[in-house]
Chains A and B, each alone.
Chain A
Amino acid sequence: MQKGLIQFSDVCLDYRLYRDRSVSIMETFMNVFGRKTSREWFRALDHASFQISPGESVALVGSNGAGKSTTLKLLAGIYSPTSGRVETAGRIASLLDLGVGFHPELTGAENVFLNGALLGFDQKKMLDLLPGIAEFAMLERFMDTPVKYYSSGMFMRLGFALATSVDPDILLIDEVLAVGDASFQAKCYDKIFGFREAGKTIVFVSHDPKAVRRLCTRAIWLDSGRARMDGPVDDVLGAYLDANAGKLQKTATSAAPREWGNREVFFSKVTLTDGNGIPTRTFRQGDTLKVNALIETRESREVKNVILGFSIHRPDGETILASNNLENGEPLLTISGSGDASISITPEIVEPGNYLLSISLTGNSTDYHWQDNFYPISLLGAKQIPPLRIDSLSVVEAVTR
């Protein structure tokens, strides 16, 4: 097979679902004696087929649970298909979760060698790659520091630099591009575009249509584990967004604020301020919009891994910007009692106009509290023309008390 080729033939992948994950030996005995416990299967991929030629940049689009991440994990060799065949040719670099192999007690350099070994590279090869990795991650002075002293940004930068250092034939990317600050993000994009120019195969999963259009020429729309549409990026993305817009239309056209969720964790007070903490709903391009939220829970236990997200919509419902602390590589929130969190948004290349801000608290698969189109905001032109940059989005602080 030619290097960089991907063949995905009639692939199914089943997960076992447990109502309660702690299945004990006791339960197995009960199964043996005929008392069936709750065990269900979930088909994440359902006879999905596609082929990707060397040098193609392909986006996988689809709603949550459509099988995008599962597909990447199959391509990376992490999962084996339940049925069907997954074939890849050449070396694969997976940017699925950066820095996971890092051991906090080991230094940056030691972690590079350990991860190199996990990827199948010997010490000598990694010694050659080390200066380049340190330079790209801008961590030359910190390579002999244990990574537990790294900030989350430094951690992610080293992870990205390491994962992309190995000259892959196939690059798998799962929305990890929100690495570090805006300038490092730009550097990451440059690196990925460099791979594309060099004729490497890229498979990209993202919810951001803008990023998808920039990077990919072709898109595959996954829907309930099947490849629903496959073709030029604009056609597929258009169809996908249209189908989704239909779902949103009911609320979007009326532009009515909508609120839902199980309120296990909820926003009890939200104020919008400018960068200096002065409450306002009117901003200038390049100004910082800060969303300060008091988040509460009535549960007696800690609620962990809460994802704080936001999105900004045009009055017609189209999403302009969206992100959350998970995508941003920021720590997830742990709420017990109540806690403060804030989101800082600096819309730089968004057209002046009126917009609606949505904020959300979600868990892994639960909606705690959504406030959709809840906060109208106005954006005025900049005092001076800002330099054209990638929008810098960052959830600056998330402190719980």
Chain B
Amino acid sequence: MTGGLLLMKSLVEKDLKVRYKRSFLGFLWFLLKPLFSMAVYTIVFTRILRFGGAIEHFSLFLLTGLLPWNFFSASLSASAKTLLDNQKLIRSIYFPRVALPVSSVIANAVHMLMALGVLEILLIAFGHTPNLSLVTLPIAVVLLAVMTSGFCMMISVGNVYYRDVSQFLEMFLLAWFYASPIIYPLGEELIPPGMEAVIRFNPIAGAMEIFHSTMYYGTWPELWAWISLVAWTAVILAAGLLIFKRMEPSVVKEL
């Protein structure tokens, strides 16, 4: 097990070291991308659609949801290629291959944590003082990362068999984004109650609710959010591990 942790640590370090080589802005990109999306959505939803006006500091509300969403969607997109990109390595030495998708998720999570730190400072500066519930946020981050890893395990194997998976994923992520409480809040009667029930069933709705409550609102998250996050994480991780382990021997030959 310690070997597995060590391998994971080395792969994450490699990922972080390599990612911003020859990039002028380097690590700043982890902030610039969500800030840009935030600017676009702020303009669309406060100046054009006038929907965001109902929420105080709409930009900060958006950013609170966009950071975990960007982590989630970037990890899923990257995982489609992770086994294919490392095929020579996989076919030349044995190592626990599940470390490849998982380490890439962890590297993305490191970026998300840094961006969340910056966001928390902004939130406090604009008067969104957190309460004690903020200490539970790291638990949500870990659970979200584990759930994301589960999805990534499935996608990485699936894409070896069917390259359509990555195309389909890009399409699906767009729908998923709007089906998640990122650009709109739950429980504020801004969306029809019927829709809200459906959206709460979304695997990442719980995580989003916890991010919003603990960081933006400074309140304790509702219980359903924790139940949803824990349950979905368990299900997705189990399914991911099962599929990955089951398909691993034939994936190595298919690559």
Contacts and interface: CB of A to CB of B under 8 A. Distances in A.
Interface of A: 15-16, 22-26, 28, 73, 76-80, 94, 96-97, 100-101, 103, 105-106, 110, 113-114, 116-120, 122-123
A106 B17 CA distance: 8
B8 to A, nearest CB: 9
B93 A94 contact: yes
Contact of A120 (B3, B90, B162, B254): B3
Summarize B's interface: helix, strand, loop or mixed.
helix
A176 B88 CA distance: 15
B134 to A, nearest CB: 34
B10 A113 contact: yes
Which of the listed residues B92, B161, B163 has the most CB atoms from chain A within 10 Å of its own CB?
B92
A103 B18 contact: yes
Interface residues of B, number: 30
28 contacts: A23-B161, A23-B162, A24-B163, A25-B164, A73-B91, A77-B94, A78-B93, A79-B249, A80-B248, A80-B252, A100-B89, A100-B92, A101-B89, A101-B93, A103-B14, A106-B14, A106-B17, A106-B18, A110-B17, A113-B10, A114-B11, A114-B14, A117-B10, A117-B11, A118-B7, A118-B95, A120-B3, A123-B6
A74 to B, nearest CB: 10
Contacts of B252: 78-80
B162 A101 contact: no
B90 A24 contact: no
Contacts of B88: 97, 100
A113 B6 CA distance: 11
Contacts of A100: 88-89, 92-93
Given A24-B163, A106-B14, A117-B10, A80 B92 contact: no
Interface in B4-35: 6-7, 9-11, 13-14, 17-18, 21
Nearest to A163: B93
Interface string B88-105: 111111110000000000
Contacts of B249: 79-80
A114 B10 contact: yes
Q: What 10 A-B pairs have minimum CB-CB distances, sorted nearest first?
A: A117-B10, A77-B94, A80-B249, A97-B92, A120-B3, A100-B92, A100-B88, A25-B164, A118-B95, A105-B21
Interface of B: 2-3, 6-7, 9-11, 13-14, 17-18, 21, 88-95, 161-164, 248-250, 252-254
B6 A122 contact: yes
B248 to A, nearest CB: 8
Nearest to A27: B162
Contacts of A101: 89, 92-93
Contacts of A118: 7, 10, 89, 93, 95
Contacts of B14: 103, 106, 110, 114
Nearest to B15: A103
A15 B253 contact: yes
Nearest to B9: A117
Given A79-B253, A118-B7, 17 more contacts: A16-B250, A16-B253, A23-B161, A24-B163, A25-B162, A25-B164, A76-B93, A78-B91, A96-B92, A96-B93, A100-B92, A106-B14, A106-B18, A114-B14, A118-B10, A120-B6, A120-B95
A113 B95 CA distance: 15
